[in-house]
Amino acid sequence: MKVNIYYGGRGLLDDPTSYVIDKMKVVLEELRVEVQRYNIYEHKNSISTLPQTMKEADGIILATTVEWLGIGGYMQQFLDACWLYGDKEKIAATYMQPIVMSTTYGEREAEVALASAWEMLGGLPCSGLCGYVEDLLSFEINQDYTEIIEKKAENLYRAISKKQKSLPNSNQAVRQTVLRTQQLELTPQESEQLSQYVSNDVYVKKQKEDIEELSNMFKDMLGKNQEDDDTAYQKELEAHFVPQKDFSVSYLFMIEGKKKPLTVEVHNSDLRVFYGQGEKIDVYTKLSTEVMDHLLKGRMTFQRAFMTGDMTAKGNLKNLKMLDQIFQFN
């Protein structure tokens, strides 16, 4: 039989939780149980891989200290890693005993939180141990407290060896009906590999750099497309402009698919083409991009587009007819 102890405290010399799990380790080893202790704070850069150490364990102890509120960050990160990367089939067959000692208020709530978390993971919780310790020396020399700790270790041994059963609980029902671990169904091997990638700072940094590079590339492409969209038709109109003496007019083209209207301002030999609306518009037109493409390729005249209804217009029709004179695409 093998039992892993996962200690979520900070490793302080006067931490009562360390004293408790050391006592439990002695009792379990006397019962010929192989005990492996993992101080989570020593693995803070690779917590995501810690759930893989449960592979050969028959049971585990989750031990933490309440110093001001709750189970603490290290233990929470470990449980998160079990949820994201742990082998759920292995967890379902693993007994867990919560051990929570407190130097302030909240040890019972923390013990319940550990048991609830393990149940939601699908595991098998055992009766835990919690207590408030004001003075560690008085706690250590109290023989009654020592006997309670030893009994809890023996209870864990019996639960594992006899494969103790428990009644169904609502946490398991919530897990089955509401909670979802991941959108992708991963095998235990894939989950293990993913946890190794996540814990590899170099790999994560490289991934972030690649994502940033791709993001910048797409931004550049999007910006280029936007720039192309903003200059669409301008060069063609400017290239085929034929100045007319003593002629000034302002056209506005509402082209389907374009966010802004295309404005064409003519003043004798001067031509200004831009996306946006000018101050004074003489002729308003509306047409599709397909019709505009036909006009610029010389397949259709502005007059014909208006007469066939492919282009609608309002304003001075004399100025509308002048479009075929100031822009010649044949």
The pLDDT tens digits of the residues spanning 162-202 come to 999 888 877 766 666 666 544 456 677 777 777 776 677 66
Closest C-alpha among 293, 265, 282, 286 to residue 317: 282
Query: Mind listing the pLDDT tens digit for each residue in 29-61?
Result: 999 999 999 999 999 888 999 999 999 999 999
Cβ pair 59, 97 in contact under 8 A: yes
pLDDT at res. 227: 45
Cβ pair 275, 258 in contact under 8 A: yes
Q: Is the pLDDT of residue 329 over 90?
A: no
Q: Partners of 284 in the beta sheet? A: 252, 314
pLDDT at res. 183: 47
Q: Name the 3-class secondary structure at 307.
A: helix
